[in-house]
Every structure is written in C-alpha cells, then in structure tokens.
Structure 1
Amino acid sequence: MLGKALAQQIADDITDVIGRNVLITDERAIVLGSGDESRVGQFHEASVEVIRSRRTIAHSAEDVRDLVGTLPGVTIPLVTDDRVVGTIGLSGPPAEVEQFGLLVKRQTEILMQEAARIGLRMTRERATTELLAEICEWHQSRVPTARLLQRGRTLGHDLTLPRRIVLIQWDDREAGPREIGSEDISRVAVRVFDSDRDLIAPLSRTVVAVATPDDSSMRPLHDRCAELVTVAADSGMPLRAAIGSPAAGIAALNISARDAYDAMHVGPSAQPDQRIHRIDEVRLHQALSVVPIDSRLRLTEGLLGPLLADRDWAVLRDTLIAWGDCAFNVTRAAERLHVHRNTLIYRLDKVGRTLDRTLSEPGLAVAVYVTCVLDRLG
C-alpha cells in the first residue's frame, strides 16, 4: 500500500522537521524510506514485534544489540483501514524521541490516506477514459455490451440512461502560436460538464469526448456547449463542439459518437459561422459527405457547369444554399443573408439565365440546392 517514493518523501520531510532520523518500513519490516538513505532496503528487525503486537515499542541501546538493522529509538505501527501496513521508526534516545511518536504517526497516516485517495481518483479517471474511448470505438472492436455496461456500473454510471456524445476539438481554423492539447480541453470541459453523470475522456491529442445526460431537467445541452466555447475563448483557446444523436445503451452511444464525429467533420463547411454543430442540423451534409469524389464532380459539372465559371460563383452558391435552407422562401433567405429581397431575386434570376432554365421547374431547385451543398463540402 505504501510505495517507496511516498515513503522516502515522508521520511525526508519528517527527518528535516524533528532533526531525528525517521525510517518507514512495509508490513514485512523492510525499510522503504529513510532520512539515512543507506538504510533503504534493509531488514528492520524491531518492526517485526511492533507489526505483530500492533503497539509502539521503545528500544534502548541494550535492547537493539541483537536486533538486525535497528538503532535505539521508538518504533510505531502504521495502521490503515484497521490493518498494520508497516512501521515508522524514530532514531535517538527513547525518552527524547518518544514525545514525537504520536504526532509523527498521525501525520504519516494522514499522508498515506491522502495518497491513497489521489491514487483512487486517478485510477477512476483512467478507467472512465478507457471506458468512454471503447464506447466511441465499439463498432470496430465489438466488445460485448454487457461487459461495458458492467464497467460503467462499477464506476457509478448507468449507460442505459439517455445521453448524447459531445466531441470538443481545437479549432485549427484559428491556429495561433499556442499549441493546445487534450489536457487543456479537458480542463475546460470539466468546468462546464460537472455532473456526476458526465463521462469525460480524451480521444486524441486535440479531441475530447463527453457523454452527457440528455435530460430535459438539465440546462439545454446547446447552452452548456456555448458556455464551454465562451470559457475556452476567454482563455485563448478557440474550440468547436459537435453534438451527436440521442442515445441509450452502448450501440446507440457509439452511433451518437460517430454522428458527433460527422458533425465535427462537415460542420465548418455547412455552418462556417458557428462553433457548435448539431448532427440534427447537418444530416444532409452527413449523407452527402460519403458520395465519392468523382460522382460529386460529375453531378456538379453536369448540373451547374456554366455557373462554376462565373466570377460570382461563391456568392451565388451561398445564396442558393441559404435559399434551400430556408425552404426556398425568398424573404427568409434574404434575412439570413442580410441582403435586400430584390438582391436575392436578382441573384436567383441570374442563376436561371446562366443555366438557361427556370428554377421553378419541378425538382430543379432541390437538385441545385443539393449540388451546391456537395460543392461546398469540397
């Protein structure tokens, strides 16, 4: 239970404070740490009886004459969870060092307990990281769902409750001199996603995943993501967040993770002015992103050919996409683009003239809209 590094640190610290050599042994009476480092690894015979009897024993110079590795002083049992895990020895005349005994014992046990708590927390954090990473990669590994559900229950998480996967990524569109890693992103995520039911884990150097409750009683998920982006920006970290589909259970959580990944991938093209991308808002882009490149080229060149050569093509494309996003409503699209309604009508007329077709043809407006989305996806 007591590691060598911790034992040596405690021994050094207490030796410096009381001016007497302190050594710490394990439950086999082997010295783990000592103010006199030459004693580390030696057998401390006086500790054997102390461990067996669970009581403090003082040893005079005459007492230690026949005890291996023992100097005059006091040896005290170290107890954790009602179990003797070792001893702490103070060298010097027993009458002088005995007065420090109880204080040293208590301080050492406090430090041991704190180290155990830190170790337990780190172990739990590591287990949570591994669990969430496996959930996100489950479709590739096919680890039995029962095993992952059980691991979740062991960590206090019911993975059958409704959740969504959120992916948080450094926004490399605003890359600066500072290099941002998953530890930086995780620190910000923990400040916002602080529910006992949130699972947070880095998936790569620049991507952190959060499995957060999809619960109407909680603050809306989009608002939490907005807070995260704002908090990060205030710290000089440009981040983007992608929100997956609602899920309950391992398979659905894996789909939510893949949806969040797709939203992160197509979001900047579909929503260039936004930092939070919901999969529900980019489903069309998600579907079109899997169309092979050569098929995209044939479709865009076949349908939009003359437009692609127009010097205003980028503006016309954004106009057509906004028009389609607004259900082909001219007034709403003009508001979205922050242009006058007549400007939008002029642009649509220009598209029709360039194609030598009318956008009122059955199905043409939809086909042009979808093809523009494909073109903007790259």
Structure 2
Amino acid sequence: MITSETAQQIVARTMEILPYNINVIRPDGTIIGSGNASRIGTIHEAARVVREKGTVVEITKEEEGLWEGAVQGINLPAFQNGALAAVIGITGPPDDVRSFGRLVVMTAEMMMEQAVLLREMQVDERMREETALQLIDPDQTAGRTAERLKQLNIELVGKRTVVCFADPEPEQVKQAVQPMLYEDELLCLRQGRLLLIVRAESDREITIRFRSVSSSQAAAGPPVGLNELPKAAELAWTAASLPEQNERFLLYRDVDLEVLLYQSGRQDMNVPPWPLDHELTETLKAYIFQNGRLQDTARVLHIHRNTLQYRLGRIRDISGRDPRQLKELLYLYAAMLRSRHEL
C-alpha cells in the first residue's frame, strides 16, 4: 500500500513542473497527499469510482456538486504489479489538464516502485546487520546463523577478518564504507562502534582498503574461520581501544602483545595508580616504540642521549621499575595501558 510519505513526494515532484494541484488518493477514496493541505484526510468519491471501473473519471465545473469531496479535474488509476495502488487527481478544467494525465501517472508509478525497492533494500540491510551481529555473538547457535546466511544468499567461504572502527561518528563511517564492501561482506553497529566482517585479504590489501575511511583509530583482527568470528571481533575491538599507536589503522598481529597487556589491565589486578607525568609517559612510549634503542628514542623525542638517560632514571626512581630491564619494562607497559584505559 502506498504510504503518506510517498504520496506527498509524488505531489511535490509533479507540482514542481505543473501549475495545477495534485492529489494522491488511496483506492478507498482517502486523500493522503495533496498540494492543498486542507484536503488531506478527506474523502474523494470519484476515486472510488475509478477503483470500481478501472477507468479515468473526469469532473467538469458544472458536475462538482454531484461528487462528494471532488472539484473539477481528472482522476486516473495508477498501478503497481498489475493492481490498483492509487488514484491520481489533477485539479483543473479537464480540457486543460488532460494532456498531463499520463505523464503524472507514469511519474507516480515510477516513484511508488522506487519506494518499494527502497523499503526492500532497507529490510535487506537490517537483515544483513542482524546477521553480522549474530556472527560475532558467542551465544548464537551456528544453525540459526547459517539459516540467516541462506536467506540472504550469502556463502562465507574461506577465512574472514573483523575490522573495528573506534570512531565517535559510526554512522558516517558506515556510509563511507558501505560502497567498498563485496556482496559477501557484512557490517553492523554495536555499542557505538562499526564492525565489518570482510574477506581475509593480505595485510597490505586490507590496510589499503580501510585505513583512510576514518580519522580515528581502527583495527583488523586475525584471519579466522566462521566459528571463531566472536573471538576475532573481541580482539579487533580491543586493538581499536588501545592508547594511541604509531599507526591509525592497526593489524592485530602487530599489536598482539599490547592487546594481551591491555586485556590484562582491564582485570582486577594489583597495579597502583600511574605515577608518571606526561613528559615521562611520552618518553616511556617512545622508548618502547623504538624497541629500547637509545639513539632512535632520543632522535624522535628531539633530546640528547644524556637527557634520555636522565629521564629513564627518573622513571625508575618514581615508579620503582627500571625500564632498561625487560621484565620491569613489560610491567610498566601494562600499567601504562591500564591507566590510559581508566582515564
């Protein structure tokens, strides 16, 4: 059945090019769209006759009083899939408006068809999103998910990757990424984040595809089979949640240690509050990212090596952990990740 929204869109589109009022009427005679707002919701008797006879009904000025809720004009049937979907009324002397009738009906039928296709696409999109949510939900049964995939005519063969975008505007990212997806790739919104289930391409290919979609941090989980998608989604989510890294688009295999430490830091561990100020924290981060190489760390921080040694000593004195010792450096990194999570 034609909706009031579609009816009013038909009115707006046709009245842009015609100097006459247009009415869109349901087959039961109710006007649901009109250039004259006062007529919406009223009954148009001539439309009922159009429904009964399936023909055009013309009303002259002299005949207006013979029809309930009608004024001079022509009333034409508009069909959809061979059935009467609406009656289109054009107000005006029949001799003046008759030549526009077929054009207006064609426009109305085309717009009704577009509205149906749009609704079908929206239903399909919702089903695809619900299926993606099921695929990454560890509590969903494989049988139910398989049935959904069959309904959508999607066959997930080979390994898949989950990509998580930690962007504060997930709807915008969704609009940007949708045209980039293959037919057998899915997306969904969960807890304010956009997640994709995509083909497990090479690291280079998946980075090129998605690194420019968002200005915020994003991460791709490991390539997995269908039953492992919930775990892959969890890992991609955690990787995208890490404190800011050197790269905006992260691959899980490049930050697997950080993810492990970050997940541990989210548990109830006996880790004291983070004691270092911003300067020493940035120094520690640079030292870690440069793999403990003093010269490279000093270079990226734009400081002398002696200054770096002094700062590392300050980190040791304040935290009680020496970053130049591997085990204590790992402890500092875990503590830093936890403190950044809680801020």
TM-score, with length taken from structure 2: 0.75
What secondary structure is seen at the aligned counterpart in 2 of 1:220? helix
Partner of 1:108: 108
Displacement of 1:168 = 1.2
Alignment pair present for 1:197 and 2:184: yes
Return the offset for 1:85.
Answer: 0.5
Among candidates 177, 192, 209, match of residue 195 of structure 2: 209
Corresponding pairs, count: 319
In structure 2, list runs of 5 or more residues that go unmatched: 300-304
Report if the CA contact (8 A) 1:149-1:159 is conserved: no
Q: Equivalent residue of 2:224, what SS? A: coil
Partner AA of 1:195 in structure 2 = Y
User: Does 1:20 pair with 2:8?
Assistant: no
Change (3 A) 1:15 1:372: closer
**Partner AA of 1:154 in structure 2:** Q
Supply the distance in 2 between the matched residues of 1:61 and 1:109 (Cα, whole angstroms). Answer: 28
Q: Distance in 1 between matches of 2:150 and 2:56?
A: 43
Q: What is the CA distance between 1:211 and its match in structure 2? A: 1.6
The code of the aligned residue for 2:335 comes to D
Aligned to 2:225: 248
Q: Percent identity?
A: 19
Q: Select 1:288's aligned residue among 255, 261, 285.
A: 261
Of 153, 168, 171, which aligns to 1:183?
171
Given that 1:159 and 1:248 are in contact with CA atoms closer than 8 Å, whether structure 2 keeps it comes out as no
TM-aligned CA distance change 1:12 to 1:252, over 3 Å: same
Cα separation, 2, equivalents of 1:319 and 1:72: 81
Paired residues of 2:156 and 2:184 also in contact (CA < 8 A): no
CA distance in 1, matches of 2:259, 2:12: 60
| Mapped contact 2:166–2:241 kept (Cα < 8 A) | no
8 Å contact kept, 1:166–1:244: yes
Conserved? CA contact 1:163–1:248, under 8 Å? yes
**Pair 370,31 (structure 1): closer, same or farther in 2 beyond 3 Å:** same
Task: Write the letter of the residue equivalent to 1:373.
Answer: Y
Relative to 1, partners in 2 of residues 1:64 and 1:195: Cα closer, same or farther, differing over 3 Å? same
With normalisation by structure 1, the TM-score equals 0.69
1:47 deviates by 2.0
Q: Take 1:365 and 1:338, find their aligned partners in 2: how far apart are those partners? A: 18
Change (3 A) 1:65 1:165: same
- CA distance in 1 between partners of 2:54 and 2:207 (Å): 58
Could you tell me how far apart the structure 2 residues matched to 1:336 and 1:293 are?
35
Which residue of structure 2 aligns with residue 150 of structure 1?
Answer: 147
Contact 1:28 1:48 in 2 (8 A): yes
1:1-378 equivalence runs, <5 A:
1-15=1-15, 17-60=17-60, 66-136=66-136, 138-139=137-138, 142-159=139-156, 161-170=158-167, 181-190=169-178, 193-205=180-192, 207-215=193-201, 220-228=205-213, 238-249=215-226, 251-266=227-242, 268=244, 271=245, 273-289=246-262, 290=264, 292=267, 294-296=269-271, 321=288, 333=293, 337=297, 367-377=327-337, 378=339
Q: Is the 8 A contact 2:73 2:97 kept in 1?
A: yes
Q: What are structure 1's unaligned runs of at least 5 residues?
A: 171-179, 230-237, 301-307
In the TM superposition, residue 101 of structure 1 has moved relative to its aligned partner by 0.8
Secondary structure of 1:58's match? strand
Amino acid at match of 1:147: R
Contact 2:221 2:233 in 1 (8 A): yes
Does the 8 Å CA contact 1:262/1:279 hold for their aligned counterparts? Answer: no
Give the CA deviation at 1:318. Answer: 5.7
Seen in structure 2, the aligned counterparts of structure 1 residues 159 and 27 have a Cα distance that, compared at 3 Å, is farther
The alignment partner of 2:47 has SS state of helix
